[in-house]
Chains A and B, each alone.
Chain A
Amino acid sequence: MMRFGVIRFHGSNCDRDCYHVVDRVLQQPVYWIEQNQKDLAGVDVVLIPGGFSYGDYLRAGAIAARTPVMDAVREFAERGGLVLGICNGFQILCEAGLLPGALMVNASLRFACHFAHVRVEAVDTPFTWALSPGAVLRIPIAHHQGNFQPDVTPFQGRVLFRYCDAEGHIVPAANPNGSWEAVAGIANGRGNVVGMMPHPERCSEAVLGATDGVGIFRSLLCWWEEVGGYDV
């Protein structure tokens, strides 16, 4: 059993979706974590869901990054705890300094909601453990600010997913938001904190017509079973 916590900020709106997938698809224990909670005892992995935390006022993720629960997440990550930020969750992790870089407004200047293909770039993290290197996943995106840019060069994080075409080629036409190096998801150097713009929770059930997202969640379970600890 792997215990999941889903953080619920005011304005999160993919919180129930993440909860549903852990509960009904992965069938693992899942707990709500409130925005003012200061303690993450009892969970093994923290999900920071998508949405518009605090209305995305000021900057996407900026206010959520300064809540008490994010101090707890910072400590949790320092101890090696696993953290996955999806969409707004990725923005929050960057704003909180837990991941390097920033998510700028899409190059189109418009919100973009559609399926995208991403190529798996590294499989030695808990989040990609059960995936094949170079595998192409079809996962929906839905964001206005997903244009990833590194803060310093050389880039201090690790690239986990890159936007590609259906065959896995990294081509400009497959980059939906203008991200640097077609980045769709990254990890910190240690590999225990991951942020990604695509929404794996939206494609984890056959009834929804797409199931590539479940591989990311299953990776966590496989890693937990095989490695079974935070000593990454």
Chain B
Amino acid sequence: MTSSVWEAVGLTEAEYRKIGEYLGRDPNALELGIYGLMWSEHCSYKSSKRHLETLPTEGPQVLQGPGENAGVVDIGEDIAVAFRIESHNHPSAIEPVQGAATGVGGILRDIFAMGAQPIALLDSLRFGNLDTPRVRYLFEGVVEGISWYGNCVGVPTVGGEIYFDDAYRDNPLVNVMCLGLVEKDRLVLGKAAGTGNSVLLVGAPTGRDGIHGASLLASREFLEEPEDMRPAVQVGDPFREKLLIEASLELLQGDAVIGINDLGAAGLASACSETATRGGSGMSLDLDQVPRREEGMTPYEVMLSESQERMLVIVEAGREAEVYRVFEKWGLDAVQIGEVTDDGALSVYHQGQEVARIPVTSLTEGAPVYDRPMGEPLMVRETVSEDVLPPPDYNEALLTLVGDPNLCSRRWVYEQYDHMVGINTVVYPGSDAAVLRVKGTQKGIAAVTDGNGLLCHVDPYRGAARVVAESYRNLSATGALPLAITNCLNFGNPERPEIMATFSDVIRGMGDACRALNTPVTGGNVSFYNETQRRSVYPTPVVGMIGVLDDVNKYGKTGFTTLDNPVVLLGDLGTHLGASQYLRVTQNQIVGPVSEPNYELERRMGTVCREGIRRGWIASTHDISDGGLGVALAESAALSSEQLGANIALPNDPRPDVSLFSEAGTAILVEVFSADIEEFLERARAMGCPAQPIGQVIPAELLISHKDFGLLVNLPISKIRQSWEEGLQ
């Protein structure tokens, strides 16, 4: 039970005193509620801010860095891509269908609030092991929620990742990324400027759902009965969201709008204070004007409701009718609820009375910032033993790996998502990254989300750096030049010094990798308190990276295409089995080390890959990551539409199991057209990237041999495909 007014809204006594200093008096209940939301971890980033400030956020390609509804990068020809990733972890744990669905809705609004047409969604999902009915329920519910909402709004879900581990049993992670296209000079920002301009609330009416979602749900650990929190979860309506997208983008074709902002976490309280802060203004609101779903709502409920499918629009005074006309056409509410003021205060009126008056910046920039104490970071110091035995049967080991829920085909999931609507999807889910065309140009956009909690659990600094490097590699393998990232940082309770230290290491690793690979961070989201009864999730930074292809007709994708083509290993394989899926799956071991990424090689390899694809030398590609070279070969065979495999001779290393299953290297598997192989190898060497022919494409089988150990793997493709396809069913 809570014992004080501040605890009831999730604040500390010191924070309560600080509110008193800002106001020069004690807050009333409504004001305290607003502070509780705005100063929650979820909204204020109070524990993470100091660390996030160390990340690189600038570059010539960056048009908008962190702090807006979404980051924006320039892809040339006056076209910009707005993109961001966000978590909806806690709601999804309590009500998976609605939790995941409203996660999709929220991130879509962040994108079209920039004036961008959403063109793609990607999801990074993590659950416990699939062996309990509750985990199955969460997993299937989340997939259903994404499918229901995403398919209905008509934005394709083109990629993502799924991982299962007991560390996520009570705290599943649901991270959703969206990207959208906008002409550079039509970018819109979420700001309220110009005294006397009108503040309009558009979209759905306001109800009692989702009150305290950001403070009591997203900014605390779970106690024993998470179901009790269901009323804090919002309910989505994708049909209304679709209309809201259409209406908002139509409205933004004109020039009446000063700024537009999503109503998400902390509802009106957050949208109003954020837009006023960005505009250096104040705002006065008349709550009696807010359209409601139910009668008798208090000002507290109206200000803090997280009802979905709403936007705040700041429009030039006198031009409100332009908004009404567009929204009426789309069957949506649009009501003036206030105006921009010059007094720097958020003033709230209800039945003619002022019921709250708060200095706007005290809610935003003035929120507390903490240097939380840091202990020793959590990591696994034990390293893989020299005498870990090779598998007794390589065929068996490879089939087990490709059938593991973490490595097998994700088809069961992505076929429930409409990944084609919009007719831009060029490379479908299942390859290293999605590729979308940009209509009206030759260009393509590649996008990927990637995380690896296991690596970061073993070594947070190197693990996070490798996640960035792998995303970079994924994009290189499609032929794209990586441009920037958005991040979703999923951690346990930051008030625990060891969690905070781990967080700090992850941010350092991510920052170093982003600097080395020239992929600045344009924004994202932090989700703390992913723990239940002191059992935290793995530290799980998820990276959403986007890149650009100058010619969308020239891209790399996975799956052998042509008989007799040489198969080439670009880059270097790893030299140990630390933190590998192979050790986890076949030996039940989670041990280090995690190797530092080789940024120099990563960049060179990317250049070689991009050039090989652009020149038409490369027939197919697959990055080598989870499951190592063995799984990369098996997937390239399983994804071959021609039922092609390969005959591979492993490098002459005394440990073929390490060559096949290490995840510590920097390597991409490429299939090169026979006629181009000499030119390709020469070019790779000239660019200082190791390129080693290791075999060729053959019909129907995967054969892997080693000079000293003979034939190790000898599997028909049909058998690989069967294990790989059935892993999730």
Report the stretch among B31-39, B277-285, B414-422, B607-615 that lies at the interface: B414-422
Report the stretch among B94-102, B146-154, B389-397, B701-709 that lies at the interface: B146-154
The answer to whether A10 and B420 touch across the interface, beta carbons within 8 angstroms, is no
| Neighbour of A13 across the interface among B153, B330, B419, B425, CB < 8 A | B153
| Neighbour of B152 across the interface among A55, A114, A140, A202, CB < 8 A | A55
- In whole angstroms, what is the CA distance A22 to B422 when docked? 14
CB distance from A51 to the nearest CB of B (A): 6
A14-B421, A17-B422, A55-B152 given as contacts; is B239 within 8 A of A111 (CB)?
A: no
The residues of B that contact A16 with a CB separation of less than 8 Å are: 422
* Residue in chain B with minimal CB distance to A15: B154
| Neighbour of B238 across the interface among A55, A201, A202, CB < 8 A | A55
The residues of B that contact A144 with a CB separation of less than 8 Å are: 151
The answer to whether B417 and A113 touch across the interface, beta carbons within 8 angstroms, is yes
The residues of A that contact B711 with a CB separation of less than 8 Å are: none
The residues of A that contact B421 with a CB separation of less than 8 Å are: 13-14, 17, 50, 142
* Residue in chain A with minimal CB distance to B240: A55
The residues of B that contact A13 with a CB separation of less than 8 Å are: 152-154, 242, 421
The answer to whether B420 and A142 touch across the interface, beta carbons within 8 angstroms, is yes
- In whole angstroms, what is the CA distance A94 to B420 when docked? 24
Interface residues as binary, B424-468 with A (CB distance below 8 Å gives 1, 0 otherwise) = 011000000000010100000000000000000000000000000
Report the stretch among A127-135, A155-163, A179-187, A205-213 that lies at the interface: A205-213
Instruction: Report if A112 contacts B (CB, 8 A).
Output: yes
Most chain A beta carbons < 10 A, residue from B151, B242, B421, B553? B421
| Neighbour of A113 across the interface among B152, B153, B415, CB < 8 A | B415
Instruction: Report if B235 contacts A (CB, 8 A).
Output: no
Instruction: Report if B552 contacts A (CB, 8 A).
Output: yes
- In whole angstroms, what is the CA distance A57 to B243 when docked? 14
- In whole angstroms, what is the CA distance A51 to B150 when docked? 11
- In whole angstroms, what is the CA distance A170 to B330 when docked? 43
Instruction: Report if A199 contacts B (CB, 8 A).
Output: yes
Interface residues as binary, B131-175 with A (CB distance below 8 Å gives 1, 0 otherwise) = 000000000000000010001111000000000000000000000
* Residue in chain A with minimal CB distance to B140: A110
Instruction: Report if B726 contacts A (CB, 8 A).
Output: no
Most chain A beta carbons < 10 A, residue from B152, B237, B330? B152
Instruction: Report if B29 contacts A (CB, 8 A).
Output: no
The residues of B that contact A110 with a CB separation of less than 8 Å are: 147, 416
Instruction: Report if B423 contacts A (CB, 8 A).
Output: yes
Instruction: Report if A11 contacts B (CB, 8 A).
Output: yes
A10-B331, A113-B416 given as contacts; is B238 within 8 A of A205 (CB)?
A: no
The answer to whether B426 and A114 touch across the interface, beta carbons within 8 angstroms, is no
* Residue in chain A with minimal CB distance to B143: A110
The answer to whether B154 and A51 touch across the interface, beta carbons within 8 angstroms, is yes
- In whole angstroms, what is the CA distance A206 to B554 when docked? 12
The answer to whether B426 and A52 touch across the interface, beta carbons within 8 angstroms, is no
A10-B330, A11-B242, A207-B553 given as contacts; is B416 within 8 A of A142 (CB)?
A: no
* Residue in chain B with minimal CB distance to A17: B423
Instruction: Report if A20 contacts B (CB, 8 A).
Output: yes
Instruction: Report if A44 contacts B (CB, 8 A).
Output: no
The answer to whether B426 and A207 touch across the interface, beta carbons within 8 angstroms, is yes
CB distance from A230 to the nearest CB of B (A): 30
Instruction: Report if A54 contacts B (CB, 8 A).
Output: yes
The answer to whether A11 and B239 touch across the interface, beta carbons within 8 angstroms, is yes
- In whole angstroms, what is the CA distance A50 to B239 when docked? 14
A11-B239, A57-B239, A113-B415 given as contacts; is B420 within 8 A of A52 (CB)?
A: no
The residues of A that contact B414 with a CB separation of less than 8 Å are: 113
The residues of A that contact B153 with a CB separation of less than 8 Å are: 13
The answer to whether B416 and A111 touch across the interface, beta carbons within 8 angstroms, is yes
The answer to whether B420 and A202 touch across the interface, beta carbons within 8 angstroms, is yes
* Residue in chain A with minimal CB distance to B429: A113
The answer to whether A52 and B239 touch across the interface, beta carbons within 8 angstroms, is yes
CB distance from A63 to the nearest CB of B (A): 10
Instruction: Report if A165 contacts B (CB, 8 A).
Output: no
* Residue in chain A with minimal CB distance to B424: A208
A residues 95-122 near B (Cβ < 8 Å) are 110-114
A residues 200-232 near B (Cβ < 8 Å) are 201-202, 205-209
The residues of B that contact A209 with a CB separation of less than 8 Å are: 426
Instruction: Report if A56 contacts B (CB, 8 A).
Output: yes
A52-B242, A55-B239 given as contacts; is B423 within 8 A of A113 (CB)?
A: no
CB distance from B706 to the nearest CB of A (A): 37
Interface residues as binary, A1-32 with B (CB distance below 8 Å gives 1, 0 otherwise) = 00000000011011011001100000000000
The answer to whether A52 and B423 touch across the interface, beta carbons within 8 angstroms, is no
Interface residues as binary, B385-417 with A (CB distance below 8 Å gives 1, 0 otherwise) = 000000000000000000000000000001111
Q: Which 4 A-B pairs have the closest CB atoms?
A: A13-B154, A55-B239, A52-B152, A17-B423
Interface residues in chain B, defined as those with a beta carbon under 8 Å from any beta carbon in chain A: 147, 151-154, 237-240, 242-243, 330-331, 414-423, 425-426, 437, 439, 552-553
Interface residues in chain A, defined as those with a beta carbon under 8 Å from any beta carbon in chain B: 10-11, 13-14, 16-17, 20-21, 50-52, 54-57, 110-114, 140, 142, 144, 199, 201-202, 205-209
A-B contact pairs, 17 of them (CB 8 A): A10-B242, A13-B242, A14-B421, A17-B421, A20-B423, A50-B421, A51-B154, A52-B151, A54-B239, A56-B239, A111-B417, A111-B418, A112-B416, A113-B415, A142-B420, A202-B423, A208-B425
Other A-B pairs beyond A201-B423, A206-B553, 14, CB < 8 Å: A10-B242, A11-B152, A13-B154, A21-B423, A52-B151, A52-B152, A52-B154, A52-B238, A56-B239, A111-B417, A113-B415, A113-B419, A142-B420, A207-B552
